[in-house]
Amino acid sequence: MARRALPATTAVLTATAALLLTACGGSGGSASSDAIKGPGKGQGSPPAPASASASSGPERPEITITDSFRLTFENWTSSDRGEQAVLTDAREELRAGYAAIIENDPDSEAVAFYDTEGVLGQTKEWIKSYTDKNLTVIGKLPAFDPKVTLAPNGRGASLSYCTDETDAKTRNRKTGKVEGNPAGTNPYVRYSVSLTKNAQGVWQNSSLHGERGGCSR
């Protein structure tokens, strides 16, 4: 497994492509692509601002995802401020990656903002596994069951979470052809992420591993 997973038809074309990741979008009564569901909160609850991940530091990039792709984050909240900072920046890194696919922009500055140099190349290859084939992402991708562990020194953290790719699909920009996962593909993927807090106070992805079938609802 490499990075995030999208329909396995795409994964066959590149060893570094994984299935759809938690994503969101939507309009009307549906949850927006930025929605975060926490304890006691409905789908319509607005997301915490990206800048909430740190009381000071650089201005976080503004990331927009179209309504055709619903990337949702279920229970990505914590009463611990340190854990919440990790969750917020990790969420934005994921949103930045999908936004880059949708915008056909492998060199996204938002992705570079949330990735260390060591993992940035991997993320770009994952994005290009779609953009090089004229693919974008549509449908729904919930991310759920996040668990954060902070290092004692406060500069490192680990995060695991799951995604459900049941309703995640790709669409060819030229032909309009829509594809999902082949029948029999396990739609659940567990991700394990290492993060490092940089000098500006931003939690950046430093490594990521995905395991298909590693979780369920």
DSSP-derived secondary structure for 70-110: EEEEET---SSHHHHHHHHHHHHHHHHHHHHHHTT-TT-HH
Closest CA relative to residue 101, chosen from 66, 64, 128, 139: 128
Judged against a pLDDT cut of 60, whether residue 16 lies above it is answered with no
**Does 214 have pLDDT greater than 80?**
yes
Q: Kindly state the DSSP code that residue 56 receives in the 8-state scheme.
A: S
Spatial distance between the Cα atoms of 107 and 117, rounded to a whole number of angstroms: 13
pLDDT at 57: 72
At residue 178, the 3 state secondary structure works out as strand
How do residues 120-145 score in pLDDT, each as one tens digit? Answer: 999 999 999 999 999 999 999 999 99
Residue 77, pLDDT score? 97
- Which fold would CATH assign to domain 8-212? Nuclear Transport Factor 2; Chain: A, (3.10.450)
pLDDT of residue 217: 86
Average pLDDT over residues 57-85: 96
Q: Do 169 and 137 touch, CB atoms closer than 8 A?
A: yes
Query: 53: pLDDT confidence band, cut at 50, 70 and 90?
Result: very low
The percentage of the chain sitting over the pLDDT mark of 90, rounded to a whole number, equals 71
What's the CA gap between 27 and 151, in Å, rounded?
39
Give pLDDT tens digits for 169-206. 999 999 999 999 989 999 999 999 999 999 999 999 99
